[in-house]
């Protein structure tokens, strides 16, 4: 696998306008997390559902599929490529992605992968994508046209390098700590960057992971719905883990249409909040 630095400069296709290229974003002080989407796999509203959350006029009850960006200094990470990535990137003006960190290869976390090619054009470079072995195997199989060099280029293919992440690494000077989690039976990853941790799609946090969750300013945590679920944290289990971790602020994500924003917000302890699409938190 070649590193992004040594990849030949990516030539944008003929339709890509010359003015559509961007410089890297200005560095931020500390760490800035932007919630691109905080919805469950089907999104909220559900197609054709008439429940009061799906029919709500409050934009905070409108949730695209789960994804965030985390900017640390001058480096921007995208966590997962949701099927809503293009719309999320337009809405939040995400113009630069240094690396993608994948939590796991379920459809709602990877099916926006092809949209990364727009960043190849914008930044004129390839993008490293990190994940566990399950994720890298699934990406290679399900997006064979990207990773098989023999498929024709046509209108352009994303230019990505797949990288296994098993332990703490530095990416462009920023320490990235993968967090081992269980999503039902499946091993998935969360990520800690500085004093911010992102844990979506998880039903259990193993004891060995808690050592990496000390001293957090911000935790984003899975919280699917009030009722128990085999592969996700429910309200009750999410609150229990959030209390045990004790971050200064916890935001819940991957929420379904069973959760009404205002009602849920009122029910939570002082340090806990429902996330919403477009939420920005800085530490």
Angle at 156 between CA 145 and CA 74, to 5 degrees: 100
Instruction: Identify whether the C-beta of residue 92 lies closer than 8 Å to the C-beta of residue 35.
Output: no
Measured CA to CA in angstroms, residue 275 lies from 12, 59, 176, 280 at distances of: 36, 12, 22, 10
* Cβ-based nearer residue to Zn ion, 22 or 228: 228
CB of 54 or CB of 74, closer to Zn ion: 54
Output the smallest distance, CB 224 to Zn ion, in A. Answer: 9
- Which window, 83-91, 92-100, 101-109, 244-252, contacts Zn ion (CB under 5 A)? 101-109
46 vs 124, beta carbon nearer Zn ion: 46
Contact 117, 129 (CB under 8 A): no
Residues 115, 86: Cα–Cα separation, whole Å = 6
**280 binds Zn ion, rule: CB under 5 A:** no
Sole binder of Zn ion in the list 98, 108, 115, 260 (CB under 5 A): 108
- Decide if residue 222 touches Zn ion (CB under 5 A): no
- The Cα–Cα gap between 33 and 178 comes to 17
Among positions 3-22, residues that touch Zn ion (CB under 5 A) are none
Question: Of 20, 22, 49, 280, which lies in the binding site for Zn ion, with binding defined by CB under 5 A?
Answer: 49
Q: Which is nearer to Zn ion, 53 or 279 (CB)?
A: 53
The DSSP secondary-structure symbol of 254 reads S
Q: Quick one: which segment of 35-43, 113-121, 233-241, 245-253 binds Zn ion (CB under 5 A)?
A: 35-43
CA atoms within 13 A on the CB side of 131: 26
What is the Cα–Cα distance from 213 to 226, expressed in whole angstroms? 24
Nearer to Zn ion, 129 or 174 (CB): 129
- Using the rule CB under 5 A, is 51 a contact of Zn ion? yes
DSSP reduced 3-state for 127: strand
Q: Which is nearer to Zn ion, 126 or 209 (CB)?
A: 209
Asked if 106 interacts with Zn ion (CB under 5 A), we say yes
Q: Which residue from 61, 257, 259, 264 is in contact with Zn ion, where contact means CB under 5 A? A: 257
Residue 54 lies near Zn ion (rule: CB under 5 A)? yes
Per DSSP, the three-state class of 183 is strand
The position carrying tokens 């914008």 is: 122
Note whether 80 binds Zn ion by CB under 5 A: no
Return residues touching Zn ion (CB under 5 A): 41, 46, 49, 51, 54, 106, 108, 201, 257
């Amino acid at each position: 696998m070649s590193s992004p630095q040594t990849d030949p400069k990516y030539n944008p296709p003929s339709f890509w306008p010359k003015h559509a290229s961007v410089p890297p974003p200005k560095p931020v002080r500390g760490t800035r997390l932007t919630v691109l989407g905080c919805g469950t796999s089907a999104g909220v509203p559900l197609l054709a559902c008439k429940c009061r959350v799906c029919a709500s006029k409050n934009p905070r009850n409108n949730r695209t599929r789960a994804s965030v960006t985390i900017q640390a200094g001058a480096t921007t990470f995208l966590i997962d490529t949701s099927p809503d990535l293009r719309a999320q990137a337009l809405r939040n003006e995400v113009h630069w992605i240094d690396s993608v960190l994948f939590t796991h290869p379920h459809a709602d976390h990877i099916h926006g992968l092809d949209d990364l090619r727009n960043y190849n054009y914008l930044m004129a470079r390839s993008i490293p994508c990190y994940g566990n072995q399950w994720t890298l195997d699934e990406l290679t199989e399900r997006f064979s046209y990207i990773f098989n060099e023999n498929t024709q280029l046509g209108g352009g293919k994303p230019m990505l390098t797949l990288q296994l992440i098993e332990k703490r690494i530095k990416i462009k000077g920023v320490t990235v700590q993968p967090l081992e989690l269980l999503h039902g039976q499946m091993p998935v990853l969360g990520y800690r960057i500085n004093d911010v941790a992102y844990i979506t799609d998880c039903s259990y946090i193993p004891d060995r992971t808690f050592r990496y969750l000390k001293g957090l300013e911000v935790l984003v945590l899975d919280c699917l719905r009030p009722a128990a679920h085999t592969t996700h944290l429910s309200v009750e289990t999410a609150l229990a883990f959030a209390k045990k971790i004790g971050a200064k602020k916890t935001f819940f994500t991957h929420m379904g249409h069973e959760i009404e924003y205002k009602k849920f917000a009122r029910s939570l302890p002082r340090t806990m909040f429902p996330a919403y699409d477009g939420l920005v938190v800085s530490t």
